[in-house]
Amino acid sequence: MSTTIPNRNTLLAGFSSADWESQRRRVTAVLLILPVVMMTLLFLVPLGYLLWLSFGGPAGFSLNAYKQLSAPFYINLALFTLQLAFLVTIACAVIAYPLAYMLANIENTLSRLVVLGLVISLWLSVLARTYSWIIILQRNGVVNNMLQWMGITDGPLSLVYNQTGVYIGMIHILLPYMVMTLYPTMRAIDGSLVRSALSLGATPWTAFRRIYFPLSMSGLVSGSILVFTMAIGFFVTPAILGGGSANTIVMAIQNQVQVLVDLPLAAATSIILLLVSMLILVVYEKIAGVEKIFGEGR
Amino acid sequence: MTKVFSRRSLMAATVLGIAGFSLAPAMAEDAAEVLKGSGSLVVSTWGGTYVEAQTKAFFQPFTEATGIEVITTGTPDAAKLKLMEQSGNVEWDLLDAEGQMMLLAAKDDLIQKVDYDLVHKIAPAEDLLTETLHEYGFPSVSFGWVLAWNTEKYAGDAAPHTWVDFWNVEKFPGRRALYANPRPLLEIALLADGVERDKLYPLDVDRAFKKLDEIKPHIDIWVENTGQYDVLMQNNEVDIMLGSHGRSTIAKEKGLSYDYTMNDGMWQQSFWIVPKHAPNAENAMKLIAWMAQPENEAEFVKMYPYGMPNKKAYDLMSDETKAKLPTAPENLAVQAQIDPVWWTENLEEVNRRWLEWYSKR
């Protein structure tokens, strides 16, 4: 047996752990090229183009678009949009929290059906769901007919073509996103922590408040960010269910693009909207601690 | 190669066969001869049943007669056209554009003039409705806006007739809807304020907004998207409204309890436009010329109640169909035409005022 079959140790003998580390880094860098290129091409370049367009684009540098945006009605539209997004986010959080709690902690047919329902509603087109709300909420709709049949109301209530309809529609469309973000966070919470708190004499409320809720916070924060950001950009639902009473800044952008064909103005409006939303999220991060989302993985 | 050839000759045989039965066989054959070509073109037009009707009445017979393939695609969009021309990558050869879009595009030098020499080889100038023609666009369809009402609410003689009636909330109580767009709201406000149909332009914007102030508190629904009309009428959600002429006609034919009047209607013209750098501009011009034939147009209006530019087409239609079209002679007399030139010139100012007015509660 003069020739030795090299075993693992002899093969690795020439490599120090530092070599392995640098090798690993190189592989990581190579693997990251694709996502970095994608991010640059798909996000940074278009954003840069939008910024360039907002300052006049091909026609040369100009602040004209931003000056036009100082008109009071643009400011009012923006304020209303933020208010709408804010209230919808709060409503989604309040409704989604107990729902997600139930799904995460109770395993039965009902909770499986609820999950199925939420997932299916994510697959359906927003436009179709918006129009469905008209059918349900309109004056001859299911809700109004039922209320009158049961003698609760005398005449039809105005449930759609006003802000009520917009809130109902938007909360319904955005709710699954909140539940689906909360659910995995809650599933990951170790039930023994709450049980320990209880066994050490905490009341159920204290155990929830001091143990469960803080642990579910990261899901709530990321869900809120997701819903708020989507709500700010909502177009179809406020336009159709609002009947003119819930005009958002995005509807103004549509008007600028399709009616005025004023691309710099539309770009400037989008940039301002982006900056305002980012500012709000930064403030929110300071208060609620978004780093928890990106913080050390479990 | 042989395969293509045999398919062509088969097509030609089919066309001849059809032509033998059609009303004006000589003409159809001439058109096929003049417009014969190859390749394809991309047409950007509106979706749904509209493009189905266009395909059946115009595009399919065109392909069969000339060998030029027609590819239809999503909605005409002025901003997209601008970006395509700026980036030098034009995907569209022919667009079905609203008048205002055509004028904006022409102003920005994005489209080319229509080859009327070619059009007149197929349809002589004297056959075409002059009020619909334009240097940069060939008329596609004319459509409009009408006063429409719920026949359950206002039956028989109780029906409204004019925009003065729409503004009269005591005599015509009920739920009201307006289209959320200054065009043609300014026009109908002025009509309601007593301005004569033929003296609308230039629009007195101050006067129109003042009149709109009067009716604003009584409007229950602002329609953002014409697709909403179908839902509104299906469910009797509105009693009196500024309706889309096409959708109101279809609702009435479906037996819904809605009716409308052509009186004081506002009609507007859409146009076929060809981008400046359209890769198949020649084929686009050929299709335009093909669509100028009265037979095709008479076929189209059976499916869609929109006005057509060739006067001879109206002779081929039934009285019933003709009565539905905004551009039928008797209807032209009681309506006014929306002036795209005025709108293009005043768009920015009016739009700013409109947004301000509309978003104020």
Residue B140 sits at φ, ψ, to 5 deg, of -95, -75
For chain B, give the mean pLDDT: 89
Element (H, E) at A217: helix A213-232
Nearest to B231 among A58, A73, A131 (CB): A131
**Do residues B69 and B39 make contact, with C-beta atoms less than 8 angstroms apart?**
yes
Q: What is the CA radius of gyration of chain B?
A: 22
Beta-carbon count within 10 A of A258 CB: 15
- Whether residues B225 and A243 touch (CB distance < 8 A) is answered with no
Are A127 and A238 in contact by the 8 Å Cβ rule? The answer is no
Query: Using CB atoms within 10 A of its CB, is residue A27 exposed (0-12), middle (13-18) or buried (19+)?
Result: exposed
Out of A7-16, A35-44, B138-147, the most confident range is B138-147
The domains of chain A, with CATH numbers, are 14-50 (no CATH), 64-294 (1.10.3720.10)
Residues of B in contact with A139 (CB under 8 A): 235-237
Structure tokens at A228: 């708020």
- Cα dihedral angle (A255, A257, A263, A268), rounded to 10 degrees? 50
Query: What pLDDT was estimated at residue B17?
Result: 41
Q: Does B356 touch chain A (CB under 8 A)?
A: yes
* CA-to-CA dists, residue A221 to A86, B21, B261, angstroms: 13, 71, 56
In A, which residues are within 8 Å of B347 by CB distance?
A: 259-260
CA of B322 vs chain A CAs: smallest distance (Å): 32
CB contact under 8 A, B222 and A244: yes
In Å, how far are A147, A175, A213, B218, B338 from B212, measured between CA atoms? 35, 38, 53, 10, 18
Asked if the model's pLDDT at residue B26 lies above 60, the reply is no
Partner-chain residue, chosen from B79, B224, B237, that has the shortest CB–CB distance to A257 = B79
Among all residues of chain B, which has the CA nearest to that of A235? B224
Q: Is B237 on the interface with A (CB under 8 A)?
A: yes
Q: Taking CB atoms and an 8 Å limit, are B82 and A263 in contact across chains?
A: yes
The answer, yes or no, to whether residue A231 has pLDDT greater than 90, is: yes
Residue B227: pLDDT band (50, 70, 90) is confident
CB pairs under 8 A between A and B: 70
CB of B104 less than 8 A from some CB of A: yes
Using a CB–CB cutoff of 8 Å, tell me whether B256 touches chain A: no
Phi, psi angles (nearest 5°) of residue B112: -110, 165
Cβ neighbourhood burial of B330 (10 Å; 0-12, 13-18, 19+) = exposed
Q: How far is A166 from chain B (nearest CA, A)?
A: 13
Task: Determine the residue type at A73.
Answer: F
Partnered with residue B232 across adjacent β-strands are: none
Instruction: State residue B21's pLDDT score.
Output: 42
Contacts of residue A93, defined as CB under 8 A and 6 or more positions apart, other chains included, come to A178, A220, A223, A224, A227
| Percentage of the residues of chain B whose pLDDT score is greater than 90 | 73
Q: How far apart are CA A61 and CA A187, in angstroms?
A: 53
Residues of A in contact with B219 (CB under 8 A): 244
Q: Which of A83-87, A156-160, B162-166 is least confident?
A: A156-160
CA distance A69 to B298: 48
User: Model ipTM?
Assistant: 0.72
Provide the 3-class DSSP secondary structure of residue A186: helix
Residue found under tokens 């109640």: B305
CA atoms within 13 A on the CB side of B267: 26
Candidates B86, B348, B356; nearest CB to A260? B348
Q: Does the domain made of B2-142+269-332 have the CATH classification 3.40.190.10?
A: yes
- Answer yes or no: is pLDDT of B72 > 50: yes
Quick one: pLDDT band at residue A287, thresholds 50, 70, 90?
confident
Which residues, 6 or more positions from B124, have their beta carbon under 8 angstroms from its beta carbon? none
Interface test with B, best of A79, A261, A265 (most B CBs within 10 A): A261
Q: Do A260 and B77 touch (CB under 8 A)?
A: no
Binning pLDDT at 50, 70 and 90, where does residue A8 land?
low
Report chain B residues whose CB lies below 8 A from the CB of A76. 359-360
Question: What does the alpha-carbon distance between residue B186 and residue A73 come to, in Å, rounded to a whole number?
Answer: 20
Say if strands B336-337 and B258-275 run parallel, antiparallel, or are unpaired.
parallel
Q: What is the pLDDT of residue B38?
A: 93
CB within 8 Å: A263 and B79: yes
| Homologous superfamily, domain B144-268+336-359 | Periplasmic binding protein-like II (3.40.190.10)
What mean pLDDT do residues B132-153 have?
95
- Assign B55 a pLDDT band (cuts: 50, 70, 90): very high
Separation CA A163–CA A263 (nearest Å): 29
pTM: 0.79
Asked whether residue B87 carries a pLDDT value surpassing 70, the answer given is yes
Q: Is B222 on the interface with A (CB under 8 A)?
A: yes
Contact A140 B236 (CB under 8 A): yes
Q: How far apart are CA B313 and CA B142, in angstroms?
A: 14
How is residue A57 annotated by DSSP? Answer: G
Q: Which residues pair with B138 in a beta bridge?
A: B272
Q: Taking CB atoms and an 8 Å cutoff, what residues of chain B touch A259?
A: 347, 351
Residue listed under structure tokens 């100028």: B292
- Kindly report the backbone phi and psi dihedral angles of residue A200, in degrees, each rounded to the nearest multiple of 5, phi listed first: -85, 5
Q: CB of B78 within 8 Å of any CB in chain A?
A: yes
User: Phi, psi at residue B354, to the nearest 5°?
Assistant: -60, -50
Strand partners, B228: none
Residue of A138, A255, A260 lying closest to B237 (CB–CB) = A138
Q: What is the pLDDT of residue B153?
A: 94
Which tens digit of pLDDT belongs to each residue from B295-329? 999 999 998 889 999 999 999 999 999 999 999 98
Comparing alpha-carbon positions, the chain B residue that sits nearest to A265 is B348
Nearest alpha carbon to residue A176 among A128, A232, A114, A113: A114
Interface test with A, best of B77, B100, B224, B231 (most A CBs within 10 A): B224
Chain A residues within 8 A of B231 when measuring between CB atoms: 131, 134-135
* Strand-pair category, B111-112 with B258-275: antiparallel
Residue of chain B whose Cα is closest to the Cα of A260? B348
Residue with tokens 């005591």: B170
Question: Which positions in chain A touch B220 (Cβ < 8 Å)?
Answer: 161, 243
In this predicted structure, what is the pLDDT of residue B32?
85
Report how far apart, in Å, the C-alpha atoms of B106 and of each of A57, B99, B232, B267, B276 are.
Answer: 20, 11, 36, 21, 9
Rounded to 10 degrees, what is the CA torsion of B238, B239, B245, B246? 50
Residue A252: list chain B partners with CB under 8 A: 355
> Is the predicted pLDDT of residue A290 greater than 70, yes or no?
no
User: H/E/C letters for each residue in chain B?
Assistant: CHHHHHHHHHHHHHHHHHHHHCCCHHHHHHHHHHHCCCCEEEEECCCHHHHHHHHHHHHHHHHHHHCCEEEEECCCCHHHHHHHHHHCCCCCCEEEEEHHHHHHHHHCCCEECCCHHHHHHHCCHHHECHHHCECCEEEEEEEEEEEEEECCCCCHHHCCCCHHHHHCCCCCCCCEEEECCHHHHHHHHHHHCCCCHHHCCCCCHHHHHHHHHHHHHHEEEEECCCCHHHHHHHCCCCCEEEEEHHHHHHHHHCCCCEEEEEEEEEEEEEEEEEECCCCCHHHHHHHHHHHCCHHHHHHHHHHCCCECCEHHHHHCCCHHHHHHCCCCHHHHCCCEECCHHHHHHHHHHHHHHHHHHHHCC
Query: Start-end ranges of CATH 3.40.190.10 in chain B?
Result: 2-142+269-332, 144-268+336-359
Average pLDDT over residues B63-74: 94
Q: What is the pLDDT of residue A5?
A: 57
Q: How confident is the model at residue A11 (pLDDT cuts 50, 70, 90)?
A: low
Q: Do B228 and A261 count as a contact with CB atoms less than 8 A apart?
A: no
User: What distance in Å separates residue A118's CA from the closest CA in chain B?
Assistant: 26
Specify the length of chain B in residues: 361
What integer pLDDT is reported at residue A3 of this predicted model? 52
Rg for chain A, CA atoms, rounded: 26
Helix axes B281-291, B294-303, angle to 10 degrees: 80
Query: Of A88-92, A222-226, B90-94, B267-271, which gets the smallest average pLDDT?
Result: A222-226
B171 vs B158, B164, B189, B239, B249, CA distance in Å? 9, 11, 18, 13, 25
Structure confidence at residue B196 (pLDDT):
95
* CA pair distance B80, B85, nearest whole angstrom: 9
CA distance to partner chain A, nearest, from residue B258 (Å): 16
The pLDDT-based confidence of B4 (bands split at 50, 70, 90) is very low
